[in-house]
Structure 1
C-alpha cells in the first residue's frame, strides 16, 4: 500500500497536463479501490478532475485550430497583394532590361548589339597605350532612330502597366485593413477588390501584349528599326537574331498578375456569400419579431 501523501502526490502528477498518462491513471484508481472500496466519493472527484483535464486540453486544441485557421485566411487574403508586388518587381526589371532584342552582325568592329527600350548596347574594343580593352558601349535610342510601332507601343504599354500597380496595391491593402476590423464594411471591401482586380487585369494584358508583340515581330515579322548614320554598324550586316529572356519573363509576370486577379475575384465571391447570409439571417430575425409585435398591438387594442 502507498502512503496517503505519496499516493495523492502521484495522482496529482498523473492528472497534471504535463504528465498525463491514461494507463498510469487507471492503476492509481485500482489502488484506491483496493485500499478503500467505499471511497466512491474520492473516485468521483478524481473523475471530475479527469473531465476538467480533457476540457482543458480540448480548449487548447480549439484555440490552436482557430489561430491556424486565421493564419490561413490571412495568407489567402494577402495572396493577391503579394502577387501584385511580385508582378511590379518583374515589370520594373523587364523595363530596365537591355536584352529586348539581341542581334548578331557580320562585322569586325561590332559583332553583337542588344536593344533595350531606351538604349542600345554593343561591346567594342579600344586600343589604349598598345593594350586592347573591351568595353560595353551604350547609346540612347532617340529621335535619330527609326523605330518600329511594336517597339514604341512596348514602351507605352509597359509604363502604363507599372503605373497601374500602385493603384492595385493601395486598394488591396485597404480591403485587407477593412477585413481586420471588428465590424468590417463588406460593401467597401468588395469595391476595393473590384478596383484591384480591374487594374491588375488590364496591367497584365499590357505586359503580355508588349513582350509578345515585340517577340513576334522580331522573329517572325519584318522589323523596321533603322540605325542612325553615326552608328558603328550597318543594318545590312545583320546575320542572325537571338532569343532573350524578356518574353518568358513577361509571360511569367502576366501569369502572376492573373493569379492575383483570381484571388481578388474569389474574395469578392466569398464576401458576396457572407453578405447574402447576413441578409437572410436579418430577414429571419425580422420575420420572427413582426408577428410578436403584431400580437402585442392586437392585444393592447383588445384591452382598450
Structure 2
C-alpha cells in the first residue's frame, strides 16, 4: 500500500493529452455513428482496449494483471459503462450542443465526490474554476432550450457517473497502476456490452471496422493517459483541464470541416484555458 501521489503539473499535462486523444476518438465515432448503431460502437470501443493489451499478455502472462481489488474494478466499470450509455443516449435524443454540455460537465462534480468519498480537500477555488470551465463549454456548445427538458436528467446522470468513475480511479491509485485499471475496464466493459450486441448486431464494412478500431485504439490510449493523470493528482484539482476536450474538438472541426468558431466560441475557449491553467498553477504558486 502506497500513498496517493500529489503531482498536479504532471497530472494536468497528462489529462490535457488524454483530452486530445478523446477528442480524436470523438471525431471517429461521430463519423461512424452515421451508419453504425450505438451497441456496436460501445462494444468495439471496449473490445479494442482488450486487444491492445495482448502483446503484454503474451510477453508477461497474467502476472502484471493480478489484483486483489476486483470489486473496485467492477465498480469502476459499472460507473464508466453506465455513463457511456447515458452519453450515447443523450447524443441520440438531444440536440448535439446540449449533449456536449453534459458530456463535459463531469469536472464540476469530481471535487465534490472526491471530498465525500476520499476526504480530499474541497475549496471554493476548485468549484469556481470548475464552474468557469463549464461556462466556457456552454459558450462553445451554445445549448438550446431543450437543455432544461426531462431528457436532461439522462445527461446529468451521465455526468455524475463519469465523475464517480474518475474519482474511483483516484481511489484505486494507491495500489493499481494505470494499465491494470484500463485493462479491467476494457475487459469487463466488453463482456457487459456484448449482451445488448446479441440482439443489435449489424454487419460492418471494412471502412466501418477501420473507423471503430481506430476509435477504440485512441480510447485505450486516452484511458491509460487519463488514469495515470488521476493517479498523480486529485481529480478535483486538475479536473478543469478535461474541459480542453471541447476546444480540441473545435480545432478538429475547423481542420476537417472548415467550421469557423464565432466570438462566443473564442471567449468560451479562453475561459476553458484560463480555468485549466489557474486550477493548477494558482495552487502550485
TM-score past 0.5 threshold? no
Between structures 1 and 2, the one with greater helix share: 2
More RCO (CA 8 Å, sep 6+)? 2
When normalised by structure 1's length, the TM-score is 0.20
When normalised by structure 2's length, the TM-score is 0.21
